[in-house]
Chain A
Amino acid sequence: MAENELATPPLGTFGYDPAPESSTIARLRESYGLFIGGDFSDAASHEQFATLNPATGAPLASVAQANASDVDRAVAAARHAYDTVWSTMSGSERAKYLFRIARIIQERARELAVVETLDNGKPIRESRDIDIPLAAAHFFYYAGWADKLEHAGYGSSPRPVGVAGQIIPWNFPLLMAAWKLAPALAAGNTCVLKPAETTPLSALVLAEILQQAELPPGVVNIVTGDGAVGAALVDHPGVDKIAFTGSTEVGRLIQRRVASSAKHLTLELGGKGANIVFDDAPIDEMIEGIIDGIFFNQGHVCCAGSRLLVQETIADEVLRRLVRRVEQLRVGDPLDKNTDVGAINSAAQLARIHELANAGEAEGATRYASSCVLPENGFWFAPTIFANVSSSHRIAREEIFGPVLSVLTFRTPDEAVAKANDTNYGLACGVWSEKGSRTLWVAERLRAGVIWANTYNRFDPTSPFGGVRESGFGREGGRHGLEAYLDV
């Protein structure tokens, strides 16, 4: 197709009027306590901290800062609920609680989407269409497993592990809570969930949902605060299992800390996903897939397609189209229904993205950034593409966790596979080609837990997700996701 047929109209010739969702739908309270034993209560220290709207920098609500004694209380509540209620309840009864939770998430979906977007900074289009519906779907899916565990392939009478300590990140707050809680509860465990420090609110709304569902007190407990809360949970002798999603650096520390205990452990860690593009791929779909692969959720995605490996024959055209497409992304108010790219979740994350992007330039890569006007307040980073990246550059090796794409090239399938695997990570990869046999050949050789062919960043409760090598171990989703919460 000729260049001029695809040219963007000059800026200002057309546009969208603002279409903001109302923040009042969130019905946020001024302050939230810890959710322990079925009720909200103050932290032992009575300390609170503010959670911010990253799009404005303004505080949204005040949240309890737990300490080790609060964690102890939460674990005791979980143990009591495990011993007295949850481990003795039939699977079919547990299933009905999970169905209730799924239904109430659907009923309160709009509210949850707004809460998520306010606290996280992600576009409302994503929280509304992806995060919240998928969270509900996870509870639906695992509800159905609760009374069928003996058919899951782990023996005729698989036992739960006990009390699960679950530590989740800030990039998909409610969805990660669902990924952790749904299989754990279906398998008969009780839980202590520790949301990320910067995004506690949707988990606290979920706590209200658990109350509405009349989930027995103590089956799920939610302790908010900083990393010290997670550490107290990891070290607690009453916890039988730790499930962690976050950075490889912290995952390594956790694996060390549980080494001298009998705790079960699953880790879902960082990634540096390669999106491999062959010259026979359908180019329009592929460009959209690359854009979605890296700019979805501001690139705050462990499986983001942050390394584009493009076949040399089409490298120039792909880069030209990508640069033009990035210019068309709408960056701004996350509550606006037309926004494509929202706010960076925190000042700390923004600093990290700046540091790595600057390193990319310093090491000689060519930087193309969207010329969009960024809001004055809050945390923002313009969608950015680096060309002329080599495998040794920091932006090709380190997880940026932001809207920054590194473009590398290859000539042969062998070289593509070698470059894709040239990382200690192994979470996800993409392959774009119309030739099925080649796609499968490449997929067989990629060291990654998830491979998307002619698509990217797809998630489903039935589909196992998780990494190999330093991207962690254990799976979430699907039948495989049960194994993480069964003593098998």
Chain B
Amino acid sequence: MSERLDVRKTYKLVINGAFVRSESGRSYEVRHAAGDFWANVAQGSRKDLRDAVRAARAAQAAWWKATAYNRGQVLFRLAEMAEARRDELAAHVAAAEGVDAPSAASSVARGIDRIVWYAGWTDKVAQVLGGANPVAGPFFNFSLPVPSGVIGVLAPQDSSFEGFVDTVLAPLATGNAVVAVTSERRPTPALLLAEMSVTSDLPAGVLNVVSGLTGELGPTLASHEDVDGIDLEGAGEHHDELAASAADSIKRVRRASAGDYAESSTSRLRSFVETSTVWHTIGR
């Protein structure tokens, strides 16, 4: 037992690149999987989410207009930050998910490798998902994947780090801005990654992370008119009503899936891109 008393951390939300307590002033108690007290975490409000959406909308265009190469570098930088804090992340994953230390360490390793995977995708999606179309006429016609815009993510409830990484990095890699709601009972690994994102040259507002009650925050995210798409991976019992509410603004909805967060598939990358097709005349 150390004689020294720990310096404990206050876990805050990340909105527009700043660490903020919930504007509501609320917090909630998060426990170890084993049941002991772990931390008081900011309990984000609907207003926090709306602020986050506004920040995301403001940041998205510049993130998309940055070169794909640059976006890849920034996301790779996030992996570097996470790599340096692997042990801390693993301790949080072990506590949050109730898995043993080696399992937690390999989960974190897979999550970091997943960040690297997505970092490498930024400058390849246009070639893999886009292309030239041989139309029957004197036109140069090409299709490009462009971001849907602002994406809401209800991160998986179970997989506190890997699941968060997979659901959040995919829309970021394709040029979207993200407002993510963490796992309700296991928020701290996601909040740690959010901290790292602030020191990874990710422009403020591109990734906003809010902890809180999924049942309270989900409906706001699903019904928000300025959110273009929503990932319902962690929606749980509210899944179908949120999917219905998303219909009001014709949101792109990714339904909860089987929960393989290391799959070698472009499925998540394709969930929040739009194919934009340009026809240009050819002539002398």
Inside 8 A of A466's CB, which chain B residues have their CB?
A: 275
Q: A462-B133, A463-B133 given as contacts; is B250 within 8 A of A451 (CB)?
A: no
The answer to whether the Cβ of B276 comes within 8 Å of any Cβ in the partner chain is: yes
Taking a contact as CB atoms under 8 Å apart, the answer to whether A469 and B228 are in contact is yes
0/1 per residue, A37-72, Cβ < 8 Å to B? 000000000000000000000000000000000000
CB distance from B171 to the nearest CB of A (A): 15
> Which residues of B232-284 have CB atoms within 8 Å of chain A's CB atoms?
240-241, 243-244, 246-250, 252-253, 255, 265-267, 270, 274-281
The 5 closest A-B pairs by CB, nearest first: A255-B247, A259-B243, A259-B244, A460-B135, A260-B240
What's the dominant secondary structure at chain B's contact region?
mixed
Q: A450-B277, A488-B267 given as contacts; is B240 within 8 A of A252 (CB)?
A: no
> Which residues of A437-488 have CB atoms within 8 Å of chain B's CB atoms?
439-440, 443, 448-455, 458, 460, 462-466, 468-473, 475, 478-480, 483, 488
Provide a sorted-by-A list of 28 A–B residue pairs whose CB atoms are within 8 angstroms: A248-B250, A252-B247, A253-B247, A255-B247, A259-B240, A259-B243, A259-B244, A259-B247, A269-B250, A436-B280, A449-B274, A449-B276, A450-B276, A450-B277, A451-B277, A453-B280, A454-B281, A455-B139, A460-B133, A462-B134, A463-B279, A464-B277, A466-B275, A468-B274, A470-B250, A475-B275, A478-B143, A480-B143
> Which residues of B98-154 have CB atoms within 8 Å of chain A's CB atoms?
128-129, 131, 133-137, 139, 141, 143, 148
Question: A349 vs B117: C-alpha distance in the bound complex, in angstroms?
Answer: 51
0/1 per residue, B17-52, Cβ < 8 Å to A? 000000000000000000000000000000000000
Taking a contact as CB atoms under 8 Å apart, the answer to whether A458 and B244 are in contact is no
CB distance from A23 to the nearest CB of B (A): 30
The answer to whether the Cβ of A153 comes within 8 Å of any Cβ in the partner chain is: yes
CB distance from A76 to the nearest CB of B (A): 26
Inside 8 A of A472's CB, which chain B residues have their CB?
A: 250
Question: A155 vs B263: C-alpha distance in the bound complex, in angstroms?
Answer: 12
Q: A462-B134, A463-B141, A488-B267 given as contacts; is B276 within 8 A of A451 (CB)?
A: yes
Taking a contact as CB atoms under 8 Å apart, the answer to whether A460 and B240 are in contact is no
Question: A252 vs B135: C-alpha distance in the bound complex, in angstroms?
Answer: 32
Question: A1 vs B284: C-alpha distance in the bound complex, in angstroms?
Answer: 22
Question: A436 vs B281: C-alpha distance in the bound complex, in angstroms?
Answer: 10
Taking a contact as CB atoms under 8 Å apart, the answer to whether A256 and B244 are in contact is yes
Taking a contact as CB atoms under 8 Å apart, the answer to whether A479 and B228 are in contact is no
Residue in B143, B265, B279 whose CB lies within 8 Å of A455: B279
Inside 8 A of B248's CB, which chain A residues have their CB?
A: 252, 256
- Interface residues of chain A, those whose CB is within 8 Å of chain B, are 137, 153-155, 248, 251-253, 255-256, 259-260, 262, 267, 269, 424, 436, 439-440, 443, 448-455, 458, 460, 462-466, 468-473, 475, 478-480, 483, 488
CB distance from B221 to the nearest CB of A (A): 15
Count residues of chain B with CB under 8 A from any CB of chain A.
Answer: 37
Question: A252 vs B249: C-alpha distance in the bound complex, in angstroms?
Answer: 8
Taking a contact as CB atoms under 8 Å apart, the answer to whether A448 and B276 are in contact is yes
Taking a contact as CB atoms under 8 Å apart, the answer to whether A454 and B280 are in contact is yes
Question: A470 vs B280: C-alpha distance in the bound complex, in angstroms?
Answer: 25
Known: A137-B136, A468-B274. 5 other contacts (CB 8 A): A155-B265, A449-B276, A450-B278, A455-B281, A468-B276
Taking a contact as CB atoms under 8 Å apart, the answer to whether B129 and A464 are in contact is no
Inside 8 A of B253's CB, which chain A residues have their CB?
A: 255, 259
- Interface residues of chain B, those whose CB is within 8 Å of chain A, are 128-129, 131, 133-137, 139, 141, 143, 148, 228, 240-241, 243-244, 246-250, 252-253, 255, 265-267, 270, 274-281
Inside 8 A of A436's CB, which chain B residues have their CB?
A: 280
Taking a contact as CB atoms under 8 Å apart, the answer to whether A449 and B135 are in contact is no
CB distance from B124 to the nearest CB of A (A): 12
Taking a contact as CB atoms under 8 Å apart, the answer to whether B243 and A453 are in contact is no
Residue in B131, B247, B249, B265 whose CB lies within 8 Å of A479: B131
Question: A137 vs B135: C-alpha distance in the bound complex, in angstroms?
Answer: 11
Inside 8 A of B278's CB, which chain A residues have their CB?
A: 440, 443, 450-453
Question: A450 vs B252: C-alpha distance in the bound complex, in angstroms?
Answer: 18
Question: A321 vs B245: C-alpha distance in the bound complex, in angstroms?
Answer: 47
Inside 8 A of B246's CB, which chain A residues have their CB?
A: 255, 259
Question: A252 vs B253: C-alpha distance in the bound complex, in angstroms?
Answer: 13
Taking a contact as CB atoms under 8 Å apart, the answer to whether A453 and B265 are in contact is no
Inside 8 A of A448's CB, which chain B residues have their CB?
A: 276
Question: A488 vs B266: C-alpha distance in the bound complex, in angstroms?
Answer: 9
CB distance from B129 to the nearest CB of A (A): 7
CB distance from A227 to the nearest CB of B (A): 17
Question: A452 vs B228: C-alpha distance in the bound complex, in angstroms?
Answer: 24
- Residue of B143, B243, B277 with highest tally of chain A CB at under 10 A: B277
Question: A154 vs B267: C-alpha distance in the bound complex, in angstroms?
Answer: 8
CB distance from B182 to the nearest CB of A (A): 24
Residue of B nearest to A153 (CB): B128
Question: A256 vs B141: C-alpha distance in the bound complex, in angstroms?
Answer: 34
Question: A256 vs B241: C-alpha distance in the bound complex, in angstroms?
Answer: 9
Residue of B nearest to A454 (CB): B281
Taking a contact as CB atoms under 8 Å apart, the answer to whether B279 and A453 are in contact is yes
CB distance from A24 to the nearest CB of B (A): 32
Inside 8 A of B243's CB, which chain A residues have their CB?
A: 259-260
- Residue of B131, B244, B253, B279 with highest tally of chain A CB at under 10 A: B279
Q: A153-B129, A259-B243 given as contacts; is B275 within 8 A of A251 (CB)?
A: no
Taking a contact as CB atoms under 8 Å apart, the answer to whether B240 and A458 are in contact is no
Taking a contact as CB atoms under 8 Å apart, the answer to whether B281 and A453 are in contact is yes
Residue of B nearest to A285 (CB): B281
Inside 8 A of A440's CB, which chain B residues have their CB?
A: 278
Residue of A nearest to B142 (CB): A463
Question: A260 vs B270: C-alpha distance in the bound complex, in angstroms?
Answer: 22
Taking a contact as CB atoms under 8 Å apart, the answer to whether B133 and A478 are in contact is yes
Inside 8 A of B129's CB, which chain A residues have their CB?
A: 153
CB distance from A480 to the nearest CB of B (A): 5
CB distance from A139 to the nearest CB of B (A): 15
Q: A269-B250, A439-B280 given as contacts; is B133 within 8 A of A464 (CB)?
A: yes
